[in-house]
A and B are shown apart, each in its own frame.
Chain A
């Protein structure tokens, strides 16, 4: 039963320097800044997201350093409030929302569809410019004058009371929102209309199912936060009192409109990593994912359910009791498709052939941390308990387990898996394993104590806190420093690999997928010969009952 594992026979690949591919086909800054190639656009996004991650991480380190001592002694309260706002705004809007769709998604969707490019390449480039312009605008706001509303910018503080550069930051986020919407439109049309002949929906990799569901959320949800930002802007500049009670407005309405987007937004952040993990499990177990159809449908059902649970952010806000109960019960529904994914992945590993390269380490790390993050969501879905835990560090810990332990680990796993494909280079496996371990350890030291801090009542967004909470906070800050080292290392060894890394073969992992049938890095139009369409994850085509 030993099928061959390498890609179909190909002409021997000339060394990287001589063969023409998307990275060396054209040269010069203009060829990058005016590119229509989805692969180059994906790499441009990767640079932007890395910069945003570094800046957002720097803001977080300011926050954690202040929290080493109970008193607010490192910086003024105003600067602290600006620091946590900057961290949230950069990480949510300029890292987590775009990260996997705009980098890995842009690179892989056309290839996984067997197509030459996305449906709308110029729109794709425009999306990147909107991301950059929005990002520069927001950066200007947070650096020059600072924004202190929190990334959730609740009214009336943000519309009437705050003295920060709220309008500029809001405009930057608004512009960036269009980047998200247009990317979503592009991906939906590409997946619907640009698949190679024979590539039916249930032959698509699970990564595309996840990105498809994500794109639907982007198109439907993002405009609602866009109009919310417009209304807050009108209230702030022209005193149009949508949310101002003195003019008859309702501040809780703003929360409804904000969370109507921002809850689905967190699924924009987690569905793509869930898709990446499906790919990693299949590749490093050399097996199609168990329950392929169920995993595919779980992405779609998560996207649908995500639109009707927003009120679980508002259990203490003054909404009606019955609304709260409805939101609570539906929020519990969404736990089920998430659990289904984890169980199917583990069933895939049963009687598989597992190899523990770096991407698979990130995969295991994801499964563990996403499980904890997801289960701690049960506490917050339950109104009776959420009353106590809302707006405390318990919530902070919960969402960092999902966003960092989950989403960022998924991004790291995906980057480590597809880096050879995207760059034609191999990175240093020893250092990558070390940094994966540091990230996992540092992450848990940072965020696990925060569950306890929340349970004993430490509120969020606090510049100073009671003395008895210092030990837990110091523990958390110490973990953050390990985490920072863990994240610095990939930046170093990835960049190093670009110049000095060993050239990669077309399929270094022996994985199945259209992207592994083409050279590393791929040619400009992806496929020199028409792609061969098979069942998904066709590791054992000769097996009886394989499909």
Chain B
């Protein structure tokens, strides 16, 4: 627990503390319960993405050559750039949580704005990547084209997973961005202090989870060709 550094505690602890929901006895129980709830929600999210990872594993084992060729076509620079951006946004998010624990609402707002900015950069890069795929006829479906007919089916399946996984990830980031906007406003209103920072901490958990999903997606989608490079596998 953060140490007492704000002047809010003096009178607040014996009155009904602001931010305490009616069903909880005290702020400690509230923080404990809300964190636990967020962790449970993240377990559910792991199972959700897990289905996609399982499908990816199955088809990659069945169509390795097509997957490798398709992966080689992705822009590792853009993917790597996005990875750095997202990890950076997790850093700014963590700093935002720390500021909330210290009751420094201005800095909560600032760090969350930085996080939002980096998240939007990430999404912007994804727009660039998706448009390139559209131009190159790599969207699965009727318009998909792949030069080598031998690998076309595997390549299309790769892109099915590419779009499903990064698309689902991007959707989670959009939701995260919306939540950040809400918390930026709350911080602007000075809501957080040493005994009440749970919402920001839980926002942090969500954001870190979205980051971790990307850390799995990046090697599986972008670095696949490097894994096969030098191996057999036509």
Contact = CB atoms under 8 A, between A and B. Distances in A.
A–B contact (CB under 8 angstroms): yes
Interface of A: 110, 115-121, 123, 181, 184-186, 188-189, 192-194, 219-224, 226-228, 230-231, 234, 238-242, 247-250, 253, 257
Contacts of B160: 234, 240-242, 247
Given A185-B41, A192-B36, 12 more contacts: A115-B23, A189-B33, A189-B36, A224-B51, A227-B52, A230-B164, A234-B160, A238-B140, A247-B153, A247-B157, A253-B55, A257-B54
A239 B44 contact: no
Given A116-B22, A219-B43, A240-B164, A248 B37 contact: no
B45 interface: yes
11 contacts: A181-B44, A185-B41, A193-B33, A223-B45, A227-B51, A230-B168, A234-B160, A248-B63, A248-B153, A248-B154, A257-B54
Interface string B156-170: 110010011000100
B50 interface: yes
B189 interface: no
A223 B48 contact: yes
* In the A-B complex, the 8 residue pairs with the closest CB atoms: A223-B48, A227-B51, A117-B23, A223-B47, A239-B141, A193-B33, A248-B153, A240-B160
B29 interface: yes
Interface in B51-80: 51-52, 54-55, 58-59, 62-63
Contacts of A247: 140, 153, 156-157, 160
B141 A224 contact: no
Contacts of A121: 21, 23
Nearest to B155: A248
Given A119-B33, A248-B154, A257 B51 contact: yes
A184 B36 CA distance: 12
A420 B101 CA distance: 47
B7 interface: no
Given A193-B29, A230-B168, A248-B154, A220 B43 contact: yes
Contact of B37 (A189, A224, A234, A241): A189
B179 interface: no
A42 to B, nearest CB: 15
Interface in B127-160: 140-142, 153-154, 156-157, 160
A238 to B, nearest CB: 6
B40 interface: yes
Contacts of A226: 48
A194 B33 contact: yes
B50 A119 contact: no
Contact of A249 (B40, B49, B157): B157
Contacts of B157: 241, 247-249
Contacts, number: 112
B44 A185 contact: yes
Contacts of B58: 250, 253
A194 to B, nearest CB: 7
- Contact-size category for B: 35 or more
A231 B40 contact: no
Nearest to A254: B55
Contacts of A188: 36, 40
Nearest to A197: B25
A240 B163 contact: yes
Contacts of A253: 55, 58
B151 to A, nearest CB: 11
B48 A118 contact: no
A12 B64 CA distance: 77
Contacts of B40: 184-185, 188-189, 219
A468 B143 CA distance: 53
Nearest to A225: B51
A240 B43 CA distance: 27
Most chain B CB within a 10 A radius of its CB, from A110, A120, A239: A239
A304 to B, nearest CB: 15
A248 B48 contact: no
B23 A119 contact: yes
B51 A120 contact: no
Interface string B87-111: 0000000000000000000000000
A188 B142 CA distance: 46
A238 B164 CA distance: 11
Nearest to B32: A193
A231 B55 CA distance: 10
Contacts of A227: 48-52
B47 A224 contact: yes
A240 B44 contact: no
A194 B32 CA distance: 10
B46 to A, nearest CB: 8
A117 B163 CA distance: 42
Contacts of B168: 230
B198 to A, nearest CB: 12
Contacts of B140: 238-241, 247
A422 B41 CA distance: 30
B37 A186 contact: yes
B37 A185 contact: yes
Nearest to B47: A223
A1 B222 CA distance: 75
A248 B44 contact: no
A240 B59 CA distance: 13
A234 B51 CA distance: 14
Contacts of B37: 119-120, 123, 185-186, 189
A386 B26 CA distance: 55
Contacts of A222: 44
A363 B62 CA distance: 52
A220 B23 contact: no
B164 A234 contact: yes
Contacts of B59: 248-250
B51 A239 contact: no
A250 B153 CA distance: 13
Nearest to B21: A121
Given A240-B141, A241-B140, A219 B22 contact: no
Contacts of A192: 33, 36
Contacts of B156: 241, 247-248
B143 to A, nearest CB: 10
A110 B55 CA distance: 40
Contacts of B24: 194
